[in-house]
Amino acid sequence: AQSVAQPEDQVNVAEGNPLTVKCTYSVSGNPYLFWYVQYPNRGLQFLLKYITGDNLVKGSYGFEAEFNKSQTSFHLKKPSALVSDSALYFCAVRDPSGYSTLTFGKGTMLLVSP
Amino acid sequence: DSGVTQTPKHLITATGQRVTLRCSPRSGDLSVYWYQQSLDQGLQFLIQYYNGEERAKGNILERFSAQQFPDLHSELNLSSLELGDSALYFCASSVTGDGNYGYTFGSGTRLTVV
């Protein structure tokens, strides 16, 4: 079975500081990994994905994520946070070795203060 | 606008009633997924259809059912509604049945059962 853990319910960071939102996963094969963002009263929006290749993946709005196979992690990062980045962030995983849909983590609320 | 259309945006109904939620996938996408989002359960996968046929089933209650029509739109039917069914219901779509390239989400239907 595949699973995702987002260990932090909330991350607080000041505007201009770097941010990290943590995600660890568990799959039996090589994972397909995704990050989505949800703004209030909106659906989830795709940020970035890792399928294969370079461990550092760049996505929308200046976000990037680093795939670390040995630590089974896929942390979301941004060098300089903006107040407008405040939202709910979801990590998701899929094990492509078998048929399965995306499994989402519980989400991490990111609050960026001015 | 993500291209995935969900109607209605809001629905208020009484316990014991039945409602139908509708989803039109992004143009060209063959697969539709239904998710339930609540504060305590997070984002829960309910069911997936691909080109008219059921592809995967998640934590969907027996009181709930869905189908995908020849024009690829999908409907989620919720019956004998309980207070605990109050949640945001999201539809997502993808080009392929495996969702390897990620999903595109609609903006959701907020269901309130009173």
pLDDT category at A102 given cuts 50, 70, 90 is confident
Mean pLDDT of B34-49: 90
Average of pLDDT values for A80-90? 96
- Three-state DSSP at B15 gives coil
Contacts of A59 (CB under 8 A, 6+ apart): A35, A47, A48, A49, A65
Three-state SS string over chain A comes to CCEEECCCCEEEEECCCCEEECCEEECCCCCEEEEEEECCCCCEEEEEEECCCCCEEECHHHCEEEEECCCCEEEEEECCCCHHHCEEEEEEEECCCCCCCCEECCCEEEEEEC
The pLDDT value given to residue A99: 64
- pLDDT tens for A25-35 read 998 888 899 99
Q: Give the chain A residue nearest B100 (alpha carbons).
A: A32
Residues of chain B neighbouring A93 (CB-CB closer than 8 A): none
Do residues B23 and B75 touch, judged by C-beta distance below 8 A?
A: yes
Give the confidence band of B110 by pLDDT, cuts at 50, 70, 90.
very high
User: In Å, how far is B54's CA from the nearest CA of chain A?
Assistant: 13
Q: How far apart are CA A55 and CA B58, in angstroms?
A: 31
pLDDT in the model for residue B88? 95
Nearest CA in chain B to A38: B107
| Residue A104 structure tokens | 């989402």
Q: Mind listing the pLDDT tens digit for each residue in B72-103?
A: 999 999 999 999 999 999 999 998 777 777 88
pLDDT of residue B82: 97
A44 and chain B in contact, CB less than 8 A: yes
pLDDT score recorded for residue A101: 82
Question: Chain A contact for B45, CB < 8 A?
Answer: yes
Closest alpha carbon within chain A to B32: A101
pLDDT tens digits, A35-61: 999 998 788 999 999 988 889 999 999
Considering only the beta carbons, identify the residue of A32, A43, A96 that sits closest to B2. A43
Give the minimum alpha-carbon distance from B31 to chain A in angstroms, rounded to a whole number.
Answer: 11
Q: With bands split at pLDDT 50, 70 and 90, how would you rate the model's confidence at A82?
A: very high
Residues in A closer than 8 angstroms to B58, CB to CB, are 101
Measured CA to CA, the distance from residue B30 to residue A12 in angstroms comes to 39
| Residue A83 to chain B, least CA–CA distance (Å) | 22
| Exposed/middle/buried for residue B68 (C-beta within 10 Å: 0-12, 13-18, 19+) | buried
Can you tell me the distance from the alpha carbon of B6 to that of B44, in angstroms, rounded to the nearest whole number? 18
Cα A12 to Cα A114: distance, rounded to the nearest angstrom: 11
Does A8 touch chain B if contact means CB atoms closer than 8 Å? no
Chain B: give the shortest CA distance to residue A71, in Å: 22
Spell out the residues 6+ positions from residue B41 whose beta carbon is closer than 8 angstroms to its own: B87
* Radius of gyration for chain A, computed over Cα atoms and rounded to the nearest angstrom: 14
Contact B100 A51 (CB under 8 A): yes
Q: Do B92 and A44 touch (CB under 8 A)?
A: yes
Mean pLDDT of all residues in B65-75: 97
**pLDDT computed for residue B107 by the predictor:** 93
Evaluate if residue A77 carries a pLDDT over 70: yes
